[in-house]
Structure 1
Amino acid sequence: MSRATLYRKIQKGTFPKQVRIATRCAGWRESAVNEWMHNPIFYHVDDVR
């Protein structure tokens, strides 16, 4: 997916939020991305334990 789509999904809560690694660097928790990959259509940030 494109970068714009990814950030749009983050804003809507349909993709895991980023975790700040350094001042100009961010990433995602592997467990959160795996959860999203398991069921991307119905994923919502509130659903994550």
Structure 2
Amino acid sequence: MSKQATNQAERILRRPEVESQTGLSRSTLYAMIAEGTFPRPVKLGKRAVGWHQSQISDWLNSRVTNIA
């Protein structure tokens, strides 16, 4: 599968799923976004945002790498 096809098929995670995967609360997520230490969400609509699954996976992997 080409990179372009992979990007088109990439899943967008909504906030509750991001919270579940990372173990972070909503307020912590937004504080880390403001600090520049967590991926910024993409705007899905007037009041809806989501995160690219690959960015969340990369962020989690970087955290594990930093600990090890």
CA separation in 2, counterparts of 1:12 and 1:21? Answer: 22
- Identity, % of aligned pairs? 38
Which residue in the other structure is 1:6 paired with?
A: 29
1:29 is aligned, of 34, 52, 56, to 52
Shift of 1:40: 2.4
Q: What TM-score results when the alignment is normalised by the length of structure 2?
A: 0.55
Structure 2 portions without partners, runs of 5+: 1-23
CA separation in 2, counterparts of 1:21 and 1:31? Answer: 17
1:20 is aligned, of 43, 46, 49, to 43
Q: How many residues align?
A: 42
The structure that is helix-richer by fraction is: 2
Q: What TM-score results when the alignment is normalised by the length of structure 1?
A: 0.73
Question: Which contiguous aligned blocks of 4+ residues in structure 1 show a shift greater than 3 angstroms?
Answer: none
Q: Which has the larger radius of gyration?
A: 2
